[in-house]
Each structure stands twice: as C-alpha cells, then as structure tokens.
Copies of this chain bind each other. A is one copy, B any other.
C-alpha cells in the first residue's frame, strides 16, 4: 500500500538489530517528518562512515586511520593486549575507563553450532602479536557465556607456548548489584574469589 521508496526504506531499517517491523515503520515516519534535521544527515553519515571507517590491520578496531587511534597512541602500553569478541566490547571497556593497554578484536566466538572455528577468528594474528611481546600480558576479556569461555580456554592453550602472561576478567558481584537477584553461578564465583579487606 505504501510507495516502493517508503517500503524499501522500511525493509532496510528492519534489518537493523533492535528494530522490528513496527519500529521500522515508526522510524521511517519519524525520518520523513525530520527530513532536513535527521534523514539527510543520516544518509550523509552512512556514506561517509562507509567510505572512511576500516578495521585496524593490527587489532581489528574500527577507525578512519590504520593503525587505529588506540594502536597509534604512544601513551598506551603496547605490552598489554586485551582480547575481546567484538568492537562493541572494546567500546564498553573504553567507556569503563582505566585500561591503558591495547586491544585485539577476535571478530566473534568459537561456536560448534554456528560452525565458527579458530580459522574464522583473528586468532593467528593474536598469536603473532603475543609472540612479538617481551614480558607482555594478554587479558582474555571474552564474554562470560559458554562460547566466550570456550574461546578463552582455546586461546589460553594456544597462547601458552608464546610465553606471555595470561589473565582473565574477574567474576563477581556487579557494582550496585543485590545478592538476592544474582544468579547462583555469579554468587559462587564471587564467594570463592573473595578478597581480604
């Protein structure tokens, strides 16, 4: 019933994660109402980002320069590499602040169900980077999911030969979290990793 131009816009918006059919239609109407303020700037931002944003050839972070701003930053410790699943996880760690090392984006997680093996992830480049470190540390910051933990196990096996120090993120009670609402696994992990005051 809608015109093909509008229908195609809605179909493309629907592909975005987080937008279902109804919200894609609402988003299209929102855009049409804000042609100059949002719709055309968004089109422009898409074209410019598509032309300029590329994965960093060292760490896999997205940036307009290669190596990326983090890999190129002389203030950041080149001997500490934090391994994450996706660029979104890198952003989350950067937002949290405090980390002054570098990153390595795997581009996914090992998953037998989805047929994702080590050769599908940026693991060979990680091993090469780890091997080049002298007295370095690799922090495995994979997600605390089954796939994330499987990948961390695989990586710790693969990286042991490089002689690098290995660590992983601590499990525990989230800051602001109430014990009564925590799952048993997290609570047990927090208890066994308790620290003297």
Contacts and interface: CB of A to CB of B under 8 A. Distances in A.
A160 interface: no
B31 A16 contact: yes
Interface in A1-56: 1-3, 5-6, 8-9, 12-13, 15-19, 23, 25-32, 34-35, 38-50, 52-53
Contact of A48 (B5, B35, B52, B62): B5
B40 A53 contact: no
Interface stretch (A84-92, A117-125, A135-143, A173-181): A84-92
23 contacts: A1-B69, A2-B62, A3-B52, A3-B63, A3-B65, A5-B49, A5-B52, A5-B64, A6-B63, A9-B46, A9-B49, A12-B38, A12-B41, A13-B16, A15-B34, A16-B27, A16-B31, A19-B19, A19-B27, A25-B88, A32-B50, A39-B49, A43-B47
Chain A interface residue count: which class? 35 or more
A63 to B, nearest CB: 5
Determine the main DSSP class of A at the interface with B. helix
Given A3-B52, A15-B30, A32-B53, 15 more contacts: A1-B91, A1-B94, A2-B91, A3-B63, A3-B69, A5-B53, A17-B23, A17-B26, A25-B91, A26-B88, A29-B88, A31-B49, A35-B50, A39-B50, A43-B50
B3 A62 contact: yes
Contact of A6 (B26, B43, B53): B53
A43 to B, nearest CB: 4
A46 B42 contact: yes
Contacts of A87: 29
A14 to B, nearest CB: 10
Contacts of A86: 29
